[in-house]
Amino acid sequence: MSAFEIIEPYNSDGGDSGNTVSVSSEESLECPFCFTQIELQPLRGIMWSGNILQLFLKCKKCKNSFIGYARYDTDDRKFHITSLSKGNHKKRNFPEEIKEISEKFVQIYTEAEFAEQERLKEICGVGYRKALEFLIKDYLIKKLPDSEEKIKDKPLGNCISELIENPKIKEIARRAVWLGNDETHYFREWENKDLEDLKRLIEITVHFISMEFLNDKYLEEMS
């Protein structure tokens, strides 16, 4: 927990509030520009009401400025920063072998990430599900180039159950599709799983595909 004081924050009508307020923030807050846990440097504050405070902050690492939104807690008599204004979008870096297998997967996954960071929770899951389909089908097309047209037309579930030989990829990809389908259907079958679980399953699928690709590559090069 980091804490600091803002001296006489402005009121929303433009005048000084005439008092000093204490502000704290959770350590998990990240700079919205460089994505590191930040040591906040307060520059100024605006009091919009008795329990809402907007702070003009600066990250001491990357020097970018942004707004922190704080609410007053009557228990400890402090303002607590609950969120920060937008900065850059986070972008997942995938291994080069995954980019080689499916550039389209990387593109779609990145767009789904952007939607999630914009709090478009109802559509980003659909994007992750679509990204998964491109990853699996492009992976299979790379392994079975003579079956490209058949793979493109075949339902994703059938592609996984009938064409994937690696048992680790088969089983984890199947479960990723289960959760991905939940993001596209009216009813959820897996009520105890959420978007974070879907992303973890995709991440594991990416890992197994990447490892298999590298394994085959080195065995071929050093045979």
Q: One-letter amino acid identity for 212? A: E
For residue 3, is pLDDT > 50? no
Please list the alpha-helical segments (H only) found in 54-147.
Answer: 96-101, 103-117, 121-143
- The DSSP symbol for 16 reads B
- In this structure, are residues 36 and 49 in contact, taking their beta carbons and an 8 Å threshold? no
Per-residue model confidence (pLDDT) at position 36: 84
Cα distance between residue 155 and residue 143, in whole Å = 18
Domain boundaries, the chain: 2-84, 96-221
Q: 129 pLDDT band (50/70/90 cuts)?
A: very high
**pLDDT tens-digit readout, 78-113:** 778 878 888 888 888 999 999 999 999 999 999 999
Positive or negative: CA dihedral 23, 24, 30, 34: positive
Cα distance between residue 181 and residue 113, in whole Å = 18
The per-residue pLDDT of the chain, averaged, comes to 86
For residue 166, is pLDDT > 60? yes
Cα distance between residue 156 and residue 137, in whole Å = 8
Q: Look at residue 140 and give its three-state secondary structure.
A: helix
Per-residue model confidence (pLDDT) at position 40: 65
Per-residue model confidence (pLDDT) at position 137: 98
pLDDT (average), residues 200-206: 98
Per-residue model confidence (pLDDT) at position 150: 97
For residue 153, is pLDDT > 90? yes
As beta bridge partners, residue 80 has 24, 71
- In this structure, are residues 112 and 91 in contact, taking their beta carbons and an 8 Å threshold? no
Question: Which residue in the block uniquely carries the two structure tokens 């990357």?
Answer: 62
